[in-house]
Structure 1
Amino acid sequence: MTTPTRKEWLEARRKGLGGSDASVALGLSQWKTNVELWEEKTGRREDEDISDKECVKYGVACEPLMREMFKLDYPEFRVKHEENVVLQHPVYPQLQASLDGMLWDQAGRLGILEIKTTTVQRGADYDKWKNKVPQNYFIQLLHYMLVTGAQFAILKARIKNEWGGSVSITENHYHFERSNHIGDTIHLLKAELAFWRYVETDTRPDLILPKIKEPSHGN
């Protein structure tokens, strides 16, 4: 099997909703509205190329290193990663997932590894990570578990703190069990399918969409 190129991967992503699209489709992203996402998926707008941004390049460079560190720190998990692969929901192929890693625990359960890097420069940034993960990342994890059928997800976050003039770096791990978020997962599925119907019927959606509650760390 030939590994897809990045161009092929990007083209495949445009044909469905990926993890980073999930919170946008629900109207819960601070960077993009659900209407703008609809315009991208219907060809009315080009999605922004952020590959040259320093924070993105930093995250891309960190990802393989952080994945290897996860393997060393948590040898009880089997970790698998395939570059530029787009997975699809078995019933709803418009729901897609590009994973930083697939996990199997000692009981053989399937899980998701998601890797994030972020820089904290003010109190509001810090509050987003205080005993929880930012809402858009939580929704992304729900989306990935929904697409793959995974029973759990682990978010490995590298947090670079530049607040107050000094620099410190911490790595946190957040574990989520799908069984603790059944209601949220059902809600997300309905909302994403509803959004995609707007795409299929070429109908502009309302700007405000339903909300998903923000989780506490470790649930």
Structure 2
Amino acid sequence: MASPTRKEWLEARKKGIGGSDAAAVLGQNPWKTNVELWEEKTGRRESEDISDKECVRYGVSCEPLMREMFKMDYPEFRVKHEENVVLQHPVYPQLQASLDGMLWDQAGRLGILEIKTTTVQRGSDYDKWKGQVPQNYFIQLLHYMLVTGAQFAMLKARIKNEWGSEVSITEKHYRFERSDHTADLEYLLQAELEFWEYVLSDTRPDLILPEI
């Protein structure tokens, strides 16, 4: 059976809530509101095609290389990746996941691997990565654990710093255990189910304003 094409993968993602949608559901996506997401899911708005943006092309090109680097740096994990595959929650199929990698630790526990590339040009941008990950990426990891039932999640980030003509690269690794975030997972699940009811009933949700 042939693997899905990228076009088929993109079409499948429109039929549910994916990892990149999860933060918008909670009003925590810097680039998209929960109402804009609802408009996309109900066909009122076309999602922006960002595939030709330089930063996106850079990330797509880096992903397989970074996955191989992860394998070398963390040989204790078994890593599996399938291109253009959309996973669904076993009970709530509208919750979907497209993973950069699935992991198994030495105890046989399932985990997920997420790979991020980003360019920072201000100190405040870099501060978001100090001992933590940006909130929208953390929510994405929670969503993937929800969908897959994974017991842990790991994020590998490549942070490119541009200060004038000088460029430096920092790589960071973060690990999250499901057992440490049970309340967060339950909160996100209820929020996503509620959002999807707005989609199914074609009822516009209230706009969630960011905290000041």
Q: Taking structure 2 as the reference length, what is the TM-score of the superposition?
A: 0.97
2:37 maps to 1:45: no
CA contact (8 A) 1:26 1:210 kept: no
Q: Which residue identity lines up with residue 59 of structure 1 in the other structure?
A: G
Question: 1:162 is paired with a residue of what secondary structure?
Answer: strand
Q: Aligned partners of 1:95, 1:137: CA distance in 2, in Å?
A: 17
Report the CA distance between 1:166 and its aligned residue: 2.0
Q: Which residue identity lines up with residue 53 of structure 1 in the other structure?
A: K
CA 210–166 in structure 1, closer or farther in 2 if over 3 Å, else same? closer
Q: Aligned partners of 1:92, 1:202: CA distance in 2, in Å?
A: 19
Partner of residue 199, structure 1 = 199
CA contact (8 A) 1:191 1:210 kept: no
Q: Which residue identity lines up with residue 49 of structure 1 in the other structure?
A: D
2:14 maps to 1:14: yes
Partner of residue 137, structure 1 = 137
CA offset digits 1:87-126 (Å, max 9, x no partner): 0000000000000000000000000000000011011211
Question: Any gaps of 5 or more consecutive residues in structure 2?
Answer: none
CA 113–2 in structure 1, closer or farther in 2 if over 3 Å, else same? same
CA offset digits 1:134-168 (Å, max 9, x no partner): 00000000000000000000000001111365211
CA offset digits 1:161-204 (Å, max 9, x no partner): 11365211011100000100000000000000000000000000
Q: Which residue identity lines up with residue 152 of structure 1 in the other structure?
A: F
Partner of residue 104, structure 2 = 104
Q: Aligned partners of 1:172, 1:128: CA distance in 2, in Å?
A: 12
Q: Aligned partners of 2:31, 2:70: CA distance in 1, in Å?
A: 29
Question: 1:112 is paired with a residue of what secondary structure?
Answer: strand
% identity of equivalent residues:
84
Superposed, 1:122-161 pairs within 5 Å as 122-161=122-161
Question: 1:116 is paired with a residue of what secondary structure?
Answer: strand
Superposed, 1:63-142 pairs within 5 Å as 63-142=63-142
Partner of residue 32, structure 1 = 32
Runs of 4+ off more than 6 Å: none
CA offset digits 1:34-87 (Å, max 9, x no partner): 100000000000000000000000000000000001111111100000000000
Mean Cα displacement is larger for which, 201-210 or 127-136?
A: 201-210
Q: Taking structure 1 as the reference length, what is the TM-score of the superposition?
A: 0.94
Report the CA distance between 1:210 and its aligned residue: 9.6
Partner of residue 216, structure 1 = none
CA 69–175 in structure 1, closer or farther in 2 if over 3 Å, else same? same
Question: 1:167 is paired with a residue of what secondary structure?
Answer: strand
CA 210–107 in structure 1, closer or farther in 2 if over 3 Å, else same? farther
Partner of residue 61, structure 2 = 61
Report the CA distance between 1:209 and its aligned residue: 7.1
RMSD of aligned residue pairs (Cα, Å): 1.2
Q: Aligned partners of 1:146, 1:210: CA distance in 2, in Å?
A: 24
Q: Aligned partners of 2:158, 2:182: CA distance in 1, in Å?
A: 28
CA 112–188 in structure 1, closer or farther in 2 if over 3 Å, else same? same
Question: Any gaps of 5 or more consecutive residues in structure 1?
Answer: 212-219
